[in-house]
Structure 1
């Protein structure tokens, strides 16, 4: 019998972890460095934030929750890591497994991530992640243009769930799930101003004029699997 070749496809996973407040620095900066999971290509751990809340309000920051986005050589490597981490907060939190099908822009650590052909219905749920390294000199300008976009995304009828995250002092992330890719594109492009808004479109024009970031990427994903289904009540 000829040997069967198993094709291992890269996957991303996105997690939300409940952690003790006093361990927050450990999770933000050291959590996975000591574990060295097999097959982990890159990971980012950030503090979760509520979209649209004032910058200095306590409602904006969830100091007992961190989010983790991880890039794996295969889903088997992710499964092995979770199996070895049954006493870890990552095992108890929710997760989504994702396959990358579009990338725009560049973040050095995930520049080599494989991009797969989109093979799901255009009307199906899809996920989007943006990841940015802010220029410290542009923080206040980024906040000025970014806050209206946060409210636009938060209130858009086409999104299922959306939130942001950051890691001091330069890393910023947004994560969203949309009812369909077309609804997300309509929001980004502001096709119907009365429904989709124009904030994102204007912010991108301003970014093109004078970039807020030293690195920036936006990623679109097919959703492979959800654990602990996401709802709008999950992140209030």
Structure 2
């Protein structure tokens, strides 16, 4: 499929998908076309058994500076409520059994930060700056930002960032658990690829079940979370990958996982 605002690549040998936002002239501002194309690309990769992990990036200069304000300044309340593409997109990323790794350089603000927070792992370049600055233009986060930020950094810090609209550095983002790792700018994609490689060598069945269990542990009570984990653990034993993984361990060889 042809895209105009993103660049999509599949590396079959590495079992990896790469999606790059590609509107450098407007700092990768997220408009309706971007949202639609991202959702289409993610749905395509979700359905492709050759893709076991997905890297989302904005390139070496900027991740995404937020929503395209010029495209939404005159929207009505009902138009904004019915325009759920970014909300749908981030939910799809969370519900996917495939892990998403955000490789972040430069500005990661507003809707861009919400997009990054929907990823499972976030690797930041030293140049990265994070924030939810919507309050500065008379609105607030609207694509799950308040919820995901609170879960990642805690209620107090989330309120500070959302209510002040201030930006923070990559190092501060690391210190509050907003990102997993900070690396020099020229090592960003190398680190993202290394992280992806550590994941794609595992059984996609086990990875999907593990992501499902961890993701849902955030939204349920302690007992229910343990039931979900137990069910996911048990389901792994219905897969060919479980048999292959355990046999390979006992036979002291590398497993060959099929995702079945």
Query: Does TM, normalized by the shorter one, top 0.5?
Result: no
Greater percentage in helix: 2
| TM-score calculated relative to the size of structure 2 | 0.27
* TM-score normalised to structure 1 length: 0.29
**Greater relative contact order structure (CA < 8 Å, 6+ sep):** 1
Larger Rg: 2
